[in-house]
Amino acid sequence: MNDPGPTELAGWNVDAQPFLKSILFGVAQPVWVVDHRGLIRFANPAAVAALGYDDVSELEGRPSHETIHYRYPDGSHFPAERCPMLLPHKTGETIHSEEDWFFRRDGTMFPVSYWSAPIDTPGGRGAVVAFTDIERQREAELAVREREIADARAAEARAAQRRAIEAADAARRQVTRDLHDGAQQRFVKVVIDLQLALQALGSDPPRARELLESAADQAKVGIDELRELAAGIHPTLLTTRGLCAAVESLADRLPIPVRLDIPQDRLPPAVEASVYFMISEALANVVKHAGATRAIVSVVASDGQLAVRVEDDGVGGAVEAPGHGLAGLADRVAALDGALTVRSEPAAGTTLEALIPLRPPSA
């Protein structure tokens, strides 16, 4: 028998080439050879296993395209004439594909990358195909992508939490300032008036009476200021009667009509508070910026989530700016694992919508 040369299998008897056989049988890379008619003449154990067969004899002699490459991924027929993997045996060129798909014996499909190169076979030019199952590689890539997304979400949640803490600190400082400049000054004045009244009591009773009246007035104003401040921090109505009553009271004080569609049911306190402050900020924006004639507020609980929507018919053009109301709202909603969207085209009004998951009470 003649030496078959380095790229020619000796007849189809791989045993005749122990060296070649040991390489092809040992490598993890699946490899097969088709002859000049496109029939599989050899497949190494890695190829047999990857294609889901038990023995090479099940592949030998079968047309390669019709056996492993016969359909497009959408299930439609893939004609052999169009198969790029068979080009090497037709044209002599070498083909590489980064992404293709093969079918296993059981009909399941898997993604592959492959090289297909011409090879001399006893009957004429065939092709040798070496492929890699890229399903695992894809799974690994997907896992990496999912981990990156989860990391980014966690980082965003941490940032939102930090901003929420900063906003809470800023709110505390504001309350301190309000107390100092408001009620505290009133009560200082009350104390001074009372002391002066005490001194004037014996010598100048009408003056003492005047001072007492002034002290009583200042005390009343101070109490009103404290009440207002407390309402701004956490409205009493929200705690005692829930979201619907608290928003009704808020809407009553606004200069434009507000239609409310809010269920009476109580929600978890954290959700009630966040939704209340969202509606409060949104309505404050409507009054400050929108030039609207009306606003609509709706709260709908369904499928385990709460949809909160505030819309107006004003000038539009709302944008989130760091450190301001809308950005704070986005953080507040994100802290509840929700998402806030702002739709505000010029001259087309503004709609804020928050979707907030409602966890079962046990969670």
Ligand X SMILES: Nc1ncnc2c1ncn2[C@@H]1O[C@H](COP(=O)(O)OP(=O)(O)OP(=O)(O)O)[C@@H](O)[C@H]1O
Find out whether 89 and 127 touch, Cβ atoms under 8 Å: yes
Site size with Mg ion, rule: CB under 5 A:
2
Region binding ligand X by CB under 6 A among candidate stretches 20-28, 93-101, 251-259, 307-315: 307-315
Give the dihedral sign, CA 270/362/341/252.
Answer: negative
Which of 38, 88, 314, 338 touches ligand X by CB under 6 A? Answer: 314
Q: Map tokens 């004609």 to a residue.
A: 79
Residues 6+ apart with CB under 8 A from 178: 229
Nearer to Mg ion, 77 or 288 (CB): 288
Nearer to ligand X, 301 or 327 (CB): 327
Chosen from Mg ion, ligand X, none, partner binding at 354 (C-beta under 5 to 8 Å by type): none
Q: Determine if 347 is a binding residue for ligand X (CB under 6 A).
A: no
Q: Determine if 318 is a binding residue for ligand X (CB under 6 A).
A: yes
Nearer to ligand X, 50 or 299 (CB): 299
Region binding ligand X by CB under 6 A among candidate stretches 162-170, 176-184, 313-321, 330-338: 313-321
Chosen from Mg ion, ligand X, none, partner binding at 294 (C-beta under 5 to 8 Å by type): none
Nearer to ligand X, 275 or 318 (CB): 318
Nearer to ligand X, 225 or 312 (CB): 312
Q: Determine if 285 is a binding residue for Mg ion (CB under 5 A).
A: yes
**Contact letters for Mg ion, residues 315-354 (x by CB under 5 A):** ----------x-----------------------------
Site size with ligand X, rule: CB under 6 A:
19
Cβ-based burial of 278 (10 A; exposed 0-12, middle 13-18, buried ≥19): buried
Which of 325, 334, 354, 356 touches ligand X by CB under 6 A? Answer: 325
Which of 14, 326, 330, 354 touches ligand X by CB under 6 A? Answer: 326
Nearer to ligand X, 262 or 340 (CB): 340
Nearer to ligand X, 20 or 315 (CB): 315
Least CB distance to ligand X at residue 277 (A): 11
Report which residue's Cβ sits closest to Mg ion. Answer: 325
Give the dihedral sign, CA 121/124/130/135.
Answer: negative
Which of 172, 324, 343, 359 touches ligand X by CB under 6 A? Answer: 324
Region binding ligand X by CB under 6 A among candidate stretches 38-46, 163-171, 189-197, 312-320: 312-320
Find out whether 358 and 301 touch, Cβ atoms under 8 Å: yes
Nearer to ligand X, 325 or 338 (CB): 325
| Distance, first Cα to last Cα, the chain | 78
Least CB distance to ligand X at residue 312 (A): 5
Least CB distance to Mg ion at residue 340 (A): 13
Q: Determine if 319 is a binding residue for ligand X (CB under 6 A).
A: yes
Q: Determine if 283 is a binding residue for ligand X (CB under 6 A).
A: no
The residues binding ligand X (CB under 6 A) are 285-286, 288-290, 312, 314-321, 324-327, 350
The residues binding Mg ion (CB under 5 A) are 285, 325
